[in-house]
Amino acid sequence: MATKTQELKLDIERIGTVSAILTQPDGARACYVLAHGAGADMRHDFMEKVAAGLADRGIATFRFNFPYMEEKKGRPDQPAVAHAAIRAAVAEAARLCPGVPLVAGGKSFGGRMTSQAQSKAPLPGVKGLAFLGFPLHAAKKPSSERAEHLAGIAIPMLFLQGTRDELADLGHLKPVIASLGAKARLHEVEGGDHSFAVLKKSGRTNEEALTEVLDTLAIWAKALA
């Protein structure tokens, strides 16, 4: 399967311009608008592996930097700025991939900002949200306050979570997902941390754990499409 990668610029109304990358396999069945986490940009090794792995599975990705990351500022953007960036990315992905169903979400902070944006006003054309490690709470401070906005989302949601994720205690996350009903699905990656890395004693590699994540995400996205 041939894959085309385009380096792009994304204009965010009244905010500025950021870098973006479209990774598009021939005959893509869906396009995932993939937002990065708080501490690393769209070119981080994890993001590269996700984009390449999904392309191998027939899913395009549209990655982009949040403005703070583009400007190399340490602190993440305010939610309103992050939401604007996500809306711009969704619109651009739709323009570049006409007729291809969209899903949105991303790694940690990027996924949570996407769900917040969706809860405030539906992202046009987006069929579902996929979270690569939803950051439910700060490390070692279990709570579920960050999930309250999810009740206002009507489209399907997929939570891909490591069982060792210090930012998403499963004792708090499982009741949240159960309360969302049939629209929400949890896939637990046994032994995975917040980035799905596993311990050597688990008997499998980080690559095998990421394969599980990407297989699950690709099957879910194609079913939505």
Domain span at residue 21?
3-224
Query: What pLDDT, on a 0 to 100 scale, did the predictor assign at position 145?
Result: 87
pLDDT at residue 218, rounded to an integer: 98
10 close to 20: Cβ distance less than 8 angstroms: yes
Contact at 8 Å (CB) between 197 and 5?
no
Q: What is the DSSP string of 17-48?
A: EEEEEEEEETT-SEEEEEE--SSS-TTSHHHH
Structurally, how many domains does the chain consist of? 1
**Token pair 């711009």 in the structure block, residue:** 88
CATH assignment at residue 134: 3.40.50.1820
Residue numbers in the chain where pLDDT is lower than 50: none
135/145 Cα distance (integer angstroms): 11
Helix 206-224 vs helix 45-56: crossing angle, to nearest 10: 50
- Strand pairing class (102-107; 126-132): parallel
pLDDT for position 223: 96
3-state helix, strand, coil in the chain (%, to 5): 40, 25, 35
Listed in sequence order, the DSSP H helices in the chain are: 45-56, 67-70, 79-96, 109-120, 170-180, 206-224
pTM of structure: 0.96
- Give Dmax (Cα) for the chain: 50
Q: Which of 156, 157, 172, 165 is nearest to 209 (CA)?
A: 165
